[in-house]
Structure 1
Amino acid sequence: MTRGLEILSVGMVTPVGLTAPTTAAAIRAGISRVRETPFVDLRFQPHPGAFVDTACLPELHQVDSRLGFREARMLRLAAPALREAARHLEEPPILLLAMPEELRPEEVAPTRFLEALSRSADVPLDLSRSRCVAQGRAAGLVALAEAFQLIQMHRATDILVGGVDTFMVPELLATLELEARLRGAGPSDGFIPGEGACFLWLGATGRGRRSRIQPVATIEGVGTGHEPGHRYSQEPYRGEGLAESFLSLFASRPVSAPRVQSVYTGLNGESFWAKEWGVACLRSRDHFSDDLRTHHPVENIGDPGAALGPVMLGLAAIGLQRGYLPGPCLVWCSSDREERGAALLCAQEGETRGDR
């Protein structure tokens, strides 16, 4: 477990809010944007989904024509969120961007996408050191682990960790339906497709004070793991990867430290993920409060794919800052394939604003 990053700002675009504060307030109020969509299933019934109103997203100008529909949609989601998170940055930062597993390097050139994002958001980036992490839901936490290393090795002062994804792609929805993974009418073991983008400006402990910026929250540490028996593997599914992430996260944390009070979970409506959550929780039970509160933002915004990790980090940070979320707070995510990740957040000592 590595320690000590400050979240200095958060930018977010989701189906329930076009900024981080409005998203957090809407989810806290129980607002949901799950609706029938224009996309139909194999029975010609509308797919339920949670998508941002296209009219609320910025138009793209001078974008590389080689980017496909999904990447263009992701640019429109990501640009305003990146602009919100980077508004006080003075120098071009490194960006570690979580992206969907389907967007492997051979399918979309990461550098091309990052260049287009920088132009669309009008935010200069250190493109020579920025990269895309195409590892799905856990990618944001994998990127966070890399950010810890870069900052603690003094190879970077400021880093943006973000994620963007959308399921608003007919071909992708059709594939997921054939795999029986989408929520249908009535009870079903499936998820509601969503979309979103979130970015977090991270710095070492004390960075906010030196810049006269009040940090939103502190990330105490991050742990990652790999699940051999993931959804598309032939290996037995034992839930080892998430348990490994938890054990790595808590390895250097004394048992006498405050126990985890809240959890933002990567559960998305599919029962598949419940097993590894149970295994991981049991193996690290000494670190959890008996009165544990769990939060599932996918109930409000659908499953935003690779954006889920950064979105939950942002929501947890805002909740800790505002005082309505008891901490420490655990955030965990699992990808469809082997990647798993977990992070622990706490409020800035003496800086909680109070419940509002």
Structure 2
Amino acid sequence: MGIDVKIAATGARTPVGASAESAAAAVRARISRIAEHPILMDGAGRPLACARDPLLEFSVRGAERLAALAVSSLGEVLEKLQREASLDTVVPVYLALPEPRPGFESGDAESVSAAIQRIALRGKARLDVEVLLEGHAGALRALELATERMSKRMCDLCIVGGVDSYLEAETLEWLEEGRKVARRGTRDGFIPGEAAGMIALTTQTARTKLRLPSLATLRSVATEHEARPMDSDEGALGEALSKALARASQGLVIPGECLDDIYCDINGERYRSDEWGFVALRQSRALRDASAYTSAVRSWGDVGAATAALNCVLAVQSWRRLYARGPRALVVGSSISRLRGAAILQQEKGV
């Protein structure tokens, strides 16, 4: 990657916790918010099994709902940063949003971005938001974009995150048409959820200057595009995700630096499980135990574009609370649009 990138702060807004610390603790304790929705129904006419944010009213919908989740999570990160440092510059925000779908269009992305731009910061600091409509792996592409710009000295402090919510009538109808909502009689579906996750990245030089903490190091990140769509007749062969992991792990000294923890987006869809199976076969040397992965879907359902950012939050919190399997973690993600990504995080010494 050519530059030493640190994670200085994390934030989260999820159905099981409204902060990075509480959300990670809930996942660790296997707390679940999956329950029947009071209003929304599934395709069989039964109450929808989902994981919803208990602090948001039902009347908050669409872009307004995503904006509320994103602003909460981003606000947490900014509060943590400004508690330690006086920000007096433009802070880029690279935000992963859902891929275009019924219930979420480009105009909704603009509304979410505008809501974030209105966040008031102390002093001369202001936010510059760039959105990526890339779904599950979007935050990994955002990490890649952020580190590329840091390497070119275009910025030395930025925030990367993701936000998503499937709890929109049009979106749920679209998922039902594709038999993607988990319910009786559906074998390839997932539990719809909603959440937002954010992480602040900084160069080592800027971190020292601003006196910010270093919670973890971003060792590497890589993205690729899969040649076959998820509904391909050939099925999932995991070629692009394998390439992304191979690129991300180039700097590791194997076997001494095998990846100890794996955070993924396996959610009940057969495609994702099959894809990971092929990746595990191709890249087994880099993995301590390919079967020992963490997916938080049992706590907060599938949270789409928020998944990769929240998985980074989970990795950081596992080191802070001393329950990680080891000092290196892999975060992977797969988007419907064929984007695949892999990031390697490493525990800070002495943390």
The TM-score, its normalising length taken from structure 2, stands at 0.89
- Secondary structure, counterpart of 1:289 in structure 2: coil
* Segment of structure 1 superposing worse, 86-95 or 249-258: 249-258
**Residues 75 and 231 (structure 1 numbering): CA distance in 2 closer, same or farther, change over 3 Å?**
same
Unaligned ranges ≥5, structure 2: none
Unaligned ranges ≥5, structure 1: 61-68
User: How many angstroms apart in 2 are the aligned matches of 1:290 and 1:137?
Assistant: 23
Answering whether residue 138 of structure 2 is matched by residue 136 of structure 1, we say no
User: How many angstroms apart in 2 are the aligned matches of 1:41 and 1:15?
Assistant: 19
Alpha-carbon deviations, 1:232-281, whole Å to 9, x = none? 56776422111111111112333254111110111011111112211212
User: How many angstroms apart in 1 are the aligned matches of 2:184 and 2:236?
Assistant: 28
Alpha-carbon deviations, 1:124-171, whole Å to 9, x = none? 6443xx310001000000000001101111110111101011001011
Please tell me the residue identity of whatever aligns with 1:75.
A
Query: Which of 91, 95, 98 is 1:97 aligned to?
Result: 95
Answering whether residue 74 of structure 2 is matched by residue 74 of structure 1, we say no
Find the counterpart in structure 2 of residue 66 from structure 1.
none
Find the counterpart in structure 2 of residue 65 from structure 1.
none
**Residues 209 and 168 (structure 1 numbering): CA distance in 2 closer, same or farther, change over 3 Å?**
same
The answer (yes or no) to whether the contact 1:228–1:235 under 8 Å persists in 2 is no
Query: Which of 77, 81, 99 is 1:85 aligned to?
Result: 77
User: How many angstroms apart in 1 are the aligned matches of 2:6 and 2:57?
Assistant: 30
Find the counterpart in structure 1 of residue 266 from structure 2.
267
Find the counterpart in structure 1 of residue 43 from structure 2.
42
Please tell me the residue identity of whatever aligns with 1:34.
I
**Residues 34 and 3 (structure 1 numbering): CA distance in 2 closer, same or farther, change over 3 Å?**
farther
CA drift at 1:80: 1.3
**Residues 252 and 266 (structure 1 numbering): CA distance in 2 closer, same or farther, change over 3 Å?**
same
Find the counterpart in structure 2 of residue 8 from structure 1.
8
1:34-183 maps to which residues of 2 (within 5 A)? 34-37=34-37, 38-55=39-56, 69-87=61-79, 88-89=81-82, 90=87, 91-102=89-100, 107-108=106-107, 110-119=109-118, 121-123=119-121, 125-127=126-128, 130-183=129-182
Please tell me the residue identity of whatever aligns with 2:310.
V
Cα RMSD, aligned residues only:
2.4
The answer (yes or no) to whether the contact 2:136–2:305 under 8 Å persists in 1 is yes
Answering whether residue 161 of structure 2 is matched by residue 200 of structure 1, we say no
1:180-259 maps to which residues of 2 (within 5 A)? 180-185=179-184, 188-231=187-230, 237-259=236-258
**Residues 185 and 110 (structure 1 numbering): CA distance in 2 closer, same or farther, change over 3 Å?**
closer
- Secondary structure, counterpart of 1:162 in structure 2: strand
**Residues 221 and 192 (structure 1 numbering): CA distance in 2 closer, same or farther, change over 3 Å?**
same
User: How many angstroms apart in 2 are the aligned matches of 1:136 and 1:227?
Assistant: 14
Answering whether residue 311 of structure 2 is matched by residue 319 of structure 1, we say no
User: How many angstroms apart in 1 are the aligned matches of 2:291 and 2:3?
Assistant: 23
**Residues 192 and 203 (structure 1 numbering): CA distance in 2 closer, same or farther, change over 3 Å?**
same
The answer (yes or no) to whether the contact 1:228–1:237 under 8 Å persists in 2 is no
**Residues 30 and 254 (structure 1 numbering): CA distance in 2 closer, same or farther, change over 3 Å?**
same
Aligned length: 339
- Secondary structure, counterpart of 1:344 in structure 2: strand
- Secondary structure, counterpart of 1:274 in structure 2: helix
User: How many angstroms apart in 2 are the aligned matches of 1:186 and 1:3?
Assistant: 50
The answer (yes or no) to whether the contact 1:95–1:160 under 8 Å persists in 2 is yes
Please tell me the residue identity of whatever aligns with 2:271.
F
**Residues 173 and 292 (structure 1 numbering): CA distance in 2 closer, same or farther, change over 3 Å?**
closer
The TM-score, its normalising length taken from structure 1, stands at 0.88
- Secondary structure, counterpart of 1:223 in structure 2: strand
User: How many angstroms apart in 2 are the aligned matches of 1:283 and 1:296?
Assistant: 21
User: How many angstroms apart in 2 are the aligned matches of 1:322 and 1:153?
Assistant: 34
Please tell me the residue identity of whatever aligns with 2:62.
R
User: How many angstroms apart in 1 are the aligned matches of 2:205 and 2:219?
Assistant: 13
CA drift at 1:56: 7.7
